[in-house]
Chain A
Amino acid sequence: MVNRKRRRGISAVLIGFGLIVLILLAGCGEGADSQSALSGRLHIAGSTALQPLVSTAAGLFERQHPQAHIQVDGGGSRAGLAAVTSHQADIGDSDIYADPAIYPDPNLTDHIVCVIPFAMVANPDVTVTSLTRQQIIDIFSTGRISNWSQVGGPDLPIVPVVRPQTSGTRDTFRKYILGGRDEKGKLLQTDSSVTVRETVAHTPGAIGYLALSVLTPAVRVLAIEGARPTLADIVAGRYIFWSYEHMYTLGDDNPLLSAFLDFMLSEPVQQKAQEMGYIPIAAMNLKGSSGKGASALSLAVVTGPAQERAFAFSRRKEE
């Protein structure tokens, strides 16, 4: 009798403890649970080079979170930066860095989501496979080379296709290829990588530059200094015509915003990026880090398809 009574007392104490624990755990768990019910709208504008990836990612994201609606616009990197700093968009996609002098807002936060390689492309009629940096400067800036025959190609006048000033790709081209020099040539009215591709494809002797994400066999990829826009060459530092893809935000206190930014870095999207011609950011992370074994491993994993593709393009071009 005594024992039974005592046991009842013990069990009462235990049940009390258990209840307290359950209540506490439930209180703690609430924060984590609310993430699945993301809802709201996101407006993304900017780089046309990044636009295909962001659109795809937004579709995937909306499928995961039916309550969330993400609108993705193009307009160029500078337009994207202007939109995000003026609160017209939540995320501004950009190929270029936001100049602190132009965008002094300290809340403007840089999120690098991937690397986009750019390629020098020429009309398929042009048989030249590779150009040096100086040759490109001479073609685009100084005008010393105006015929493909000067660089070992057919006797065709070179038509450089120049992108408008809002283009991030043009900025990158100036900084990394032209060394800050102006470019001269056929100026396009709209900033779109696709327009560049179409123009180059249909203009005999035309040469231009575009993001690898919009590359099709309709144009011929030219190597720069013998290096191709492959992951291996980029990671090794041989190929310099590439740019980080930035997604600028004004702070990331919005849960939907931070969720989408995390989603951009998640494995499915990065996989998608690789399929679409981008280079996953994980492949670039290891540059300069001490973990060389790990970097080699990551490269081996990531490189394959992109390299294949790049080579495939060039080979097709050669044929």
Chain B
Amino acid sequence: MQQPVQRKGQAQLPSLATPSLPQGGAAFGDGPGLRIRPRSRRSGNLLLNLSIGKRLTLGFLLAALIAAIAAGLIGVLRSQSLSRQSSFYQKLLSINTSLTTGADYLQLMNTEVHNLMASASAPAPSHETITQERQAITGLATRYDTILSTYVAQDLLINHPDEMGLLAEAGQSGQQGQQQTLLASALRTWHLYRAAQDQVLQDIAQGNLSEAQNLLRFQVEPTNADALSALRALIQLNQRLAAAVQQAAAVEERNQLITSIIGAIVASLAIVLVGWFISGTLVRRLRHLQQVTRAIESGQLEARVTVIGRDEIAEVSAAFNAMLETLLNLLEETRRQRDALTNAAEHLFSDMRVVSAGDLRINAPVSDDPIGLLANAFNFTVGRFRRFVLRVQVAIQQLEVIARRQQEHAEALSQSLHLLQVPARSESQGPGPGSSSLALNERGRTPSGTLTTPSAAGAGRSLGEKVERELSELKGRLRRSRERLQGVLDGTTVEQLQRLSTLLRQIEEEAARPSRWTANAQGIRRELHIPTPLLHQLEQGLSALQQQLASSLKDVDRELLTVGQEMSRLRMKLNAIGGAASGSGGGTAGGGESAEVVRLALAFASEVNTLAQQLTTVIQEMRSSLVGFQFETVEAGSASSEPSGRLQAPGGAMSGHTSTSPADLLSRSLRL
């Protein structure tokens, strides 16, 4: 059950990753399996190349044809057998008539022979009557002969196979033998009778009346009876044949019933077969389509419908296959995009890790995707930070150089003052009040105080001590400010950087989490969203660091200002001392020494002054850069247009999108 859900998630990807759709479109265009021509496996079944409507029509026509053929065959059989029976029956009827006529002829012949006998044996025989009767007898005999020979020539069953077949159906197949036998017996008796009759006629013609009489009585009559009997047997056979035909008709009817039932069964079977076959061509393939659909539903995406034929089902199957190919290509495309995004994200995260380890030279590869945008923003941030840190470093180095120089100057001054102090102490021992007043003046920080002291050597000496003390104090201050600068350099900056690195690590961890996620669109959107707050944090940390740096630099600045003021005051005091010393004209040597000291002190004071000025400029420079940076970083998270516009101007990467911040752009691209 998990698979389908996941697949559904994947299926939504392409709709989100619209920027990459053109690529997918290209795959649409030249993908091999997308626009699938029906790869019709040309099966031997030509039916499948017909459309369903045609096939159904064909099936119905076939069924109708089969039914019509079956009905027609049964009807033809029935009519054939009926006509066969009726013709046979008719023939039997005519045969019967002719045979009955033959029997009449036989009887007539018998009568005529008797008449002839009577006429011949009459006392006065009429030759005309005798001739007439003789002609009648001969005519009858000829006719009877014709009847029998016609029967022999035409009506033998053995010459009519269809009639024999009919009789065989009735179980009367022995009849043709019996017919021949009876016919032979009729012929034999007839020939015997005819011979006897001819003999009688001959005898009468020869006047041999008594012999003719005898013959008539003992031979003609019995043979006539025999002939009649044989003929009657033939007539009876004919009647039996008629009965047999009826029987055959009954048998035939039964057979026809069976035939029609079998025909109906065969026809219905054939129709059912046709229907089964035709419906099979539809149902089987529809079931196959259904099976494939189910298989795909249950996740077997490689299942395809076998396309057979050129009908509607084949078209649907081909379209289905094409749809599957398209969907799978889209899925594949989406997966590839997801993988690319994941790779880019991982690369970016490794870069972040490197940055967190302190290497600021990193320049993450920028691509066209959301991760690329993120990387661009990251690069920009890192670059700004790097530049800032470099600038701070340079400033600090400059400060260090200046401070060292000042220290050297101060040491030189203190040394020269020290040298000055030693001869001054040996020359004049008591400048106590002057010096005390000067010390008082010094304490009251009134530059005019030095002018009031009309000091001598003692006063000069106390003044030199004071200056020395102030100088050492000044030196201490300078050292403190240097220490503070170093503190700024070492303590706070390192601390801030460490904090930043932890922040970056957090981002990395945050970034490491998405790799566990399934890289779907929402995931990517989410994972792309998450670093932004972290970046906010990073920027806040950076701003805090800058503020701290600014404040410490301000402290240093203030310190150096006070040092500068102290220095200028000291110079003025020294000038005043110089004036006083020259004015009083105390010991020339002492005056020369003090003038040297004053000159050195003045040079030192001016140098300290310039140093202070240099420091001020450096500090101002740093502040200005810090101020710029501060604005950017503080305002980077928010979507206000002015700082971001200032931010983008140095970045230059987003020249096309001047009016939008990278974060805004990012979120917008994700939303697309």
A25→B230 contact, CB < 8 A? no
Q: Write the nearest CB–CB distance from A258 to chain B, whole angstroms.
A: 10
A288→B283 contact, CB < 8 A? no
Cα A110 to Cα B179 in complex, Å, equals 11
B187→A179 contact, CB < 8 A? no
The residue in chain A whose Cβ has the minimal distance to the Cβ of B264 is A17
A70 interface residue, CB < 8 Å from B? no
A216 interface residue, CB < 8 Å from B? no
Which residues of A from 273 to 294 have beta carbons under 8 Å from B? Answer: 281-282, 284-291
From B265-273, B369-377, B619-627, give the one contacting chain A. B265-273
A12 interface residue, CB < 8 Å from B? no
Cα A25 to Cα B229 in complex, Å, equals 43
B181→A99 contact, CB < 8 A? no
B225→A180 contact, CB < 8 A? no
B178→A289 contact, CB < 8 A? no
A297 interface residue, CB < 8 Å from B? no
- Do A110 and B192 contact each other (CB < 8 Å), given the known contacts A182-B218, A287-B184, A289-B180? no
A3 interface residue, CB < 8 Å from B? yes
A28→B218 contact, CB < 8 A? no
B112 interface residue, CB < 8 Å from A? no
B79 interface residue, CB < 8 Å from A? no
Which residues of B from 125 to 173 have beta carbons under 8 Å from A? Answer: 152-153, 156, 158-159
A288→B174 contact, CB < 8 A? no
B192→A176 contact, CB < 8 A? yes
B416 interface residue, CB < 8 Å from A? no
From B69-77, B92-100, B255-263, B570-578, give the one contacting chain A. B255-263
* Complex interface: chain A residues within 8 A of B196 (CB): 179-180
B25 interface residue, CB < 8 Å from A? no
A109→B233 contact, CB < 8 A? yes
B272→A10 contact, CB < 8 A? yes
A97→B254 contact, CB < 8 A? no
Cα A255 to Cα B269 in complex, Å, equals 41
A289→B152 contact, CB < 8 A? yes
B210 interface residue, CB < 8 Å from A? no
* Complex interface: chain B residues within 8 A of A155 (CB): none
* Complex interface: chain A residues within 8 A of B659 (CB): none
* Complex interface: chain B residues within 8 A of A13 (CB): 268, 272
From the candidates A20, A112, A180, A182, name the one contacting B222 in the complex (CB within 8 A). Answer: A180
* Complex interface: chain A residues within 8 A of B156 (CB): 289-290
A286→B258 contact, CB < 8 A? no
The residue in chain B whose Cβ has the minimal distance to the Cβ of A244 is B185
* Complex interface: chain A residues within 8 A of B214 (CB): 180-181
Cα A287 to Cα B177 in complex, Å, equals 11
From the candidates B180, B268, B283, name the one contacting A286 in the complex (CB within 8 A). Answer: B180
From the candidates B153, B218, B265, name the one contacting A21 in the complex (CB within 8 A). Answer: B265
A28→B233 contact, CB < 8 A? no
Which residues of A from 244 to 278 have beta carbons under 8 Å from B? Answer: 244, 262, 265
From the candidates B177, B182, B223, B225, name the one contacting A265 in the complex (CB within 8 A). Answer: B177
B230→A97 contact, CB < 8 A? yes
From the candidates A10, A24, A290, name the one contacting B159 in the complex (CB within 8 A). Answer: A290
- Do A112 and B178 contact each other (CB < 8 Å), given the known contacts A175-B223, A179-B215? yes
* Complex interface: chain B residues within 8 A of A188 (CB): none
From the candidates A110, A281, A290, name the one contacting B229 in the complex (CB within 8 A). Answer: A110
A96 interface residue, CB < 8 Å from B? yes
B183 interface residue, CB < 8 Å from A? yes
* Complex interface: chain B residues within 8 A of A28 (CB): 254, 258
Cα A218 to Cα B576 in complex, Å, equals 210
B232 interface residue, CB < 8 Å from A? yes
* Complex interface: chain A residues within 8 A of B217 (CB): 180
**Interface size band for B:** 35 or more
* Complex interface: chain A residues within 8 A of B276 (CB): 10
Which residues of A from 151 to 207 have beta carbons under 8 Å from B? Answer: 171, 174-176, 179-182
- Do A175 and B184 contact each other (CB < 8 Å), given the known contacts A21-B261, A100-B232, A110-B236? no
A180→B218 contact, CB < 8 A? yes
A43 interface residue, CB < 8 Å from B? no
Map CB proximity to A onto B219-239 as digits: 1 under 8 Å, 0 otherwise.
110110110111011001000
* Complex interface: chain A residues within 8 A of B185 (CB): 97, 112, 244
A98 interface residue, CB < 8 Å from B? yes
Q: Write the nearest CB–CB distance from B270 to chain A, whole angstroms.
A: 13
* Complex interface: chain A residues within 8 A of B222 (CB): 99, 171, 174-175, 180
* Complex interface: chain B residues within 8 A of A102 (CB): 225
Q: Write the nearest CB–CB distance from B100 to chain A, whole angstroms.
A: 12
B254→A175 contact, CB < 8 A? no
From the candidates B153, B219, B226, name the one contacting A96 in the complex (CB within 8 A). Answer: B226
Cα A222 to Cα B517 in complex, Å, equals 133
A288→B184 contact, CB < 8 A? yes
A60 interface residue, CB < 8 Å from B? no
* Complex interface: chain A residues within 8 A of B182 (CB): 110, 112
The residue in chain A whose Cβ has the minimal distance to the Cβ of B180 is A285
B520 interface residue, CB < 8 Å from A? no
From the candidates A2, A17, A175, name the one contacting B226 in the complex (CB within 8 A). Answer: A175
B192→A291 contact, CB < 8 A? no
B594 interface residue, CB < 8 Å from A? no
* Complex interface: chain B residues within 8 A of A180 (CB): 196, 214-215, 217-220, 222-223
B261→A265 contact, CB < 8 A? no
A291→B232 contact, CB < 8 A? no
Q: Write the nearest CB–CB distance from B196 to chain A, whole angstroms.
A: 7
Map CB proximity to B onto A22-39 as digits: 1 under 8 Å, 0 otherwise.
001100100000000000
- Do A100 and B229 contact each other (CB < 8 Å), given the known contacts A111-B178, A281-B181, A289-B180? yes
- Do A20 and B261 contact each other (CB < 8 Å), given the known contacts A28-B254, A180-B219, A182-B218? yes
The residue in chain A whose Cβ has the minimal distance to the Cβ of B275 is A10
From the candidates A97, A98, A112, name the one contacting B181 in the complex (CB within 8 A). Answer: A112
B334 interface residue, CB < 8 Å from A? no
* Complex interface: chain B residues within 8 A of A301 (CB): none
Cα A13 to Cα B180 in complex, Å, equals 52
A289→B158 contact, CB < 8 A? yes
B225→A100 contact, CB < 8 A? yes
* Complex interface: chain A residues within 8 A of B269 (CB): 14
Q: Write the nearest CB–CB distance from A243 to chain B, whole angstroms.
A: 10
B218→A97 contact, CB < 8 A? no
* Complex interface: chain B residues within 8 A of A24 (CB): 257-258, 261
From the candidates B218, B225, B257, name the one contacting A174 in the complex (CB within 8 A). Answer: B218
- Do A288 and B181 contact each other (CB < 8 Å), given the known contacts A96-B226, A97-B230, A181-B218? no
* Complex interface: chain A residues within 8 A of B223 (CB): 175, 180
- Do A98 and B180 contact each other (CB < 8 Å), given the known contacts A14-B269, A180-B222, A262-B174? no
- In the A-B complex, the 4 residue pairs with the smallest Cβ-Cβ separation, listed nearest first, are A180-B219, A110-B233, A180-B218, A97-B229
What are 14 contact pairs spanning A and B, CB under 8 A?
A3-B283, A10-B272, A13-B268, A17-B265, A97-B185, A97-B226, A109-B236, A110-B233, A174-B222, A179-B219, A180-B220, A262-B174, A284-B184, A285-B184
A binding-site residues for B, Cβ under 8 Å: 2-3, 10, 13-14, 17, 20-21, 24-25, 28, 96-102, 109-112, 171, 174-176, 179-182, 244, 262, 265, 281-282, 284-291
